[in-house]
Amino acid sequence: MRVEGPRYTERFGAVRINEVQKVLELDSGRARELTPYENVAVQKIEEGAIKDFEEKMVIVIPTKDEKLKLLEGVISGIPHECLILVVSNSQRKRIDRFKMEQDTLRQYCHFTRRQAYLVHQKDPVLAKALAGAGYNHIIDQDGLVRDGKAEGMIAAIFIAMMMKKDYIGFIDADNFSPGAVWEYVKCYAAGFYMSRSPYAMIRIIWRYKPKFGEGVYFRKWGRVSEVTNRCMNSLISIRTGFETDIVKTSNAGEHAMSLKLAGLLSYASRFAVEPQELISIFEDFGGVMPMACKTAAKHGIEIFQIETRNPHLHEDRGTEHLKDMLLPGLATIYHSRLCEKETKEKVLAELLQQNAINPGEEPPMPQISPPPKNIDIQKFTKVMGRHMESCSALEGK
Ligand code: GDD
Ligand code: MG
**Separation of 303 CA from ligand 2 center, angstroms?**
23
The pLDDT of residue 315 is 86
Instruction: Tell whether ligand 1 has an atom less than 6 A from the beta carbon of residue 62.
Output: yes
Q: Which residue segment(s) compose the domain that 165 sits in?
A: 2-208+251-316+373-391
**Separation of 150 CA from ligand 1 center, angstroms?**
9
Instruction: Tell whether ligand 1 has an atom less than 6 A from the beta carbon of residue 386.
Output: no
Please check whether residue 184 lies inside any domain of the structure.
yes
- 180 has which bridge partners? none
CB–CB of 54/85 below 8 Å? no
For atom 22 of ligand 1, the residue with the nearest CA is 317
Instruction: Tell whether ligand 1 has an atom less than 6 A from the beta carbon of residue 277.
Output: no
Please check whether residue 216 lies inside any domain of the structure.
no
Most ligand 1 atoms within 8 A of CB, residue of 64, 121, 314 to mutate = 64
The string of pLDDT tens digits covering residues 153-198 is 999 999 999 999 999 999 999 999 999 999 999 999 999 999 999 9
Low-confidence ranges of the chain (pLDDT < 50): none
Task: List the beta strands (DSSP E) in the chain.
Answer: 2-4, 9-12, 15-18, 21-25, 42-44, 57-63, 83-88, 116-120, 167-170, 200-205, 211-213, 215-217, 255-258, 267-268, 301-307, 368-369
Instruction: Tell whether ligand 1 has an atom less than 6 A from the beta carbon of residue 270.
Output: no
Please check whether residue 232 lies inside any domain of the structure.
no
Most ligand 1 atoms within 8 A of CB, residue of 68, 149, 250 to mutate = 149
The three-point CA angle 340-343-349 to 5° equals 135
The pLDDT of residue 193 is 98
Please check whether residue 58 lies inside any domain of the structure.
yes
CB–CB of 227/330 below 8 Å? yes
**Separation of 288 CA from ligand 2 center, angstroms?**
35
Domains in the chain, number: 1
The Cα 86–Cα 102 span in angstroms is 10
Tell me, what amino acid is at 339? Answer: C
Instruction: Tell whether ligand 1 has an atom less than 6 A from the beta carbon of residue 172.
Output: yes
Whether the CA torsion 301, 307, 311, 316 is positive or negative: it is: positive
Query: Phi and psi at residue 198, in whole multiples of 5°?
Result: -75, -5
For atom 25 of ligand 1, the residue with the nearest CA is 317
The pLDDT of residue 207 is 86
CATH of residue 125's domain is 3.90.550.10
The pLDDT of residue 397 is 56
Please check whether residue 338 lies inside any domain of the structure.
no
Closest residue by Cα to residue 300 from 316, 315, 310, 287: 287
Please check whether residue 134 lies inside any domain of the structure.
yes
30 by Cβ neighbours in 10 Å (0-12 / 13-18 / 19+) ranks as exposed
The Cα 230–Cα 67 span in angstroms is 34
For atom 13 of ligand 1, the residue with the nearest CA is 63
The string of pLDDT tens digits covering residues 213-260 is 767 777 766 788 999 999 999 999 999 999 999 999 999 999 999 999
Please check whether residue 52 lies inside any domain of the structure.
yes
Please check whether residue 274 lies inside any domain of the structure.
yes
CA 241 to chain CA centroid, Å, is 29
